[in-house]
Amino acid sequence: MNEDRDFSFGYMSTIQMVSQYEALLRQGKNPFFDVADFERIIEFYFESDNAKRAAEAINIASQIHPYSSEIQLKRIELLIVDGNYRQAIQHLNVLIKIESNCSEAYYLKGQCHLGLNEFEMAEIAFDKALSDASDDRVDLLCRIASLYQDITEFNSAISYLVEAYGIDNHSMHINFELGYCYECVGDYPLSIKHYNHCLDINPFSSDAWFNLGLVYTRTGDFEKAVEAYDYAIAVDPMNSAAIHNKANTLVTIGKYHEAIDELTELIAYEPKNSSLYVSMGDCYERIGNYDKAMASYLKGLEIFPSCAEAYFGIGIVKLRTMQPHLALDYINKALAIEPENYDFWLGMARVKYEVNKIDEALDAYRQATILNPDEPEAYIGLAETLLYKESFADVVELYNSIADRFSQTYPLKVICAAAMYLQNKPNKAVELLKGAKMIDSAAIDEFFSILPTVNDEYFVSKLKLL
């Protein structure tokens, strides 16, 4: 708490200093401050994204302190902010010749090389900055890591943060940044380790609990994710992102009533957030409460009349309540707003199938596969519809074209096996079903749900041996 109070006083002192500086300018007087004070004033303008004021302060400071390397560095920072990296490097090279030990100049030079995508040159400059560093090496390592994070070079950021961690492994900041970087590169065990270390240091960090929840969500450990979000909310009851993510996670694990409770709480904080009502409608739809689902979707549209998700949700409710033609109207409205939405095309395909427009259903499934070729669901729907149409050769052709990409998607193997059997190729069907059963033991039952009238005793006996 003392650190927070010191920061607050320091910030207020800077505000007062900037106010005094600006008052002198308005009065036409010469604003004389020492170098350190000018640095604070200029930095204030940088942090306020006021490059014009920063440039003005740098020019005045240069007139008063023409030989100050600190003020020259601020001028170079302004060039970097404006993207003038080559010009900044020229100034830095001159300054480095004058200043024999200038860690900050090499740091800025490395930043320029990063801006120019000259990564080897950047690394050389950062190494020199670190070798010349006489002050806080940990702080410099973290600043360099931050530059790499800004350009999403997370592995490079990690290398500097790991060195900083070796010097100070009890730093909340270092552990948090390591947790985040490891999360970004997909090393979730190390990410969890460092977020937990953050919480060992400060168990009341809502941000650390929230990020830990994100990692658990990505690893599929949804119960732990919900627990982490609960702690984030307990520390900061106004953490709407944690409440929202908790609700989404509860939906993922089928706890729709609990998700509704969370969304109800969140709506109290954000009553004009249409997406919350859409999420609420989705929960009600999944538990079969279609009246409340409709009410939620309509409320979302009342707030945001162009809410495509709300139109789509109403379309799904209409489909569930045996009104497929009305479902088509609403899903068409959703697609008019978001014509490249994968889920909307999937929904459209299912409705077209329900109204027996098979060719149009196939077209919708194909459009979905174009929009998201890495998701198997549209391919499964396409294969099922081709099978229904008795286009058995097309089913096999489709399966062969995507088998390598979806080798662990057993429903595709089952559908293709059905097509093979109906083409009088029972041995190939058995081979496919063998592979499908190795992925999921329910594969054989699903095959018989597709072809319940199979009465080939020899074929059935072979399946029993799988």
Average pLDDT over residues 319-332: 95
Would you state the pLDDT for residue 1? 36
Q: Which domain holds residue 453?
A: 376-466
Question: What was the pLDDT predicted at 2?
Answer: 39
Among 61-75, 274-288, 399-413, name the one with the lowest average pLDDT. Answer: 61-75
pLDDT computed for residue 214 by the predictor: 97
Region 211-233: mean pLDDT is 96
Mean pLDDT for the stretch of residues 391-408: 96
Task: Report yes or no on 217 lying in a domain.
Answer: no
Q: How far apart are CA 73 and CA 60, in angstroms?
A: 14
**What's the pLDDT score for residue 190?**
97
143-152: which pairs have CB atoms within 8 A and are 24 or more residues apart?
A: 143/107, 144/107, 144/110, 145/177, 145/181, 146/177, 147/110, 147/111, 147/114, 148/114, 149/177, 149/180, 149/181, 151/114, 152/184
- C-alpha–C-alpha distance, residues 361 and 342, integer Å: 14
The answer to whether the CB of 145 falls within 8 A of the CB of 164 is: yes
The answer to whether residue 451 is domain-embedded is yes
The CATH number covering residue 426 comes to: 1.25.40.10
- Judged against a pLDDT cut of 80, whether residue 425 lies above it is answered with yes
240 or 339, which is more confident: 339
Stretch among 50-64, 194-208, 376-390, 415-429 having the lowest mean pLDDT:
50-64
For residue 4, pLDDT over 80 is answered with: no
Instruction: Let me know if residue 452 belongs to a domain.
Output: yes
Pair of tokens at residue 208: 């650390």
**Distance between CA 242 and CA 260 in Å, rounded?**
15
Residue 108 placed within a domain: no
pLDDT tier at 151, thresholds 50, 70, 90: very high
Identity of the residue numbered 121? M
What is d(CA 412, CA 435) in angstroms, rounded to the nearest whole number? 11
Report the Cα 4 to chain-centroid distance in Å. 30
What pLDDT does 264 receive? 93
Under 8 Å between Cβ of 416 and 395: yes
Segment 194-209 mean pLDDT: 97
Residue among 45, 78, 49, 75 nearest 61 (CA): 75
Give the pLDDT confidence of 259-291 residue by residue, as tens digits: 999 999 889 889 999 999 999 999 999 999 999
Quickly state the pLDDT bin for 3 (edges 50, 70, 90): very low
134 band by pLDDT with thresholds 50, 70 and 90:
confident
Note the pLDDT of residue 10. Answer: 47
Q: What percent of the chain has pLDDT over 70?
A: 97
Three-state DSSP at 324 gives helix
* SS percent in the chain: helix, strand, coil, step 5: 80, 0, 20
The predicted-structure confidence for 112-131, as pLDDT tens digits, reads as follows 999 999 999 999 999 999 98
Give residue 465's pLDDT.
86
| pLDDT class of 8 with cuts at 50, 70, 90 | very low
**Length of the chain (residues):** 466
> What is the pTM (predicted TM-score) of this model?
0.75
C-beta neighbour count of 8 within 10 angstroms? 10
What is the pLDDT confidence band of residue 100, given thresholds at 50, 70 and 90?
low
The answer to whether residue 189 sits within a structural domain is no
Report if residue 364 sits inside a domain.
Answer: no
Contacts of 188 (CB under 8 A, 6+ apart): 182, 215, 218, 219
Residue 413 lies in a domain: yes
Please state the domain count of the chain. 1
Rounded to the nearest integer, the mean pLDDT of the chain is: 92
SS3 label, residue 110: helix
Q: Are 183 and 215 in contact (CB under 8 A)?
A: yes
Tokens for 75, please give them: 């001028």
Asked if the model's pLDDT at residue 382 lies above 60, the reply is yes
- CA 115 to CA 92: how far, in whole Å? 15
Residue 356 has pLDDT above 70, yes or no: yes
Confidence check: pLDDT of 11 > 60 = no
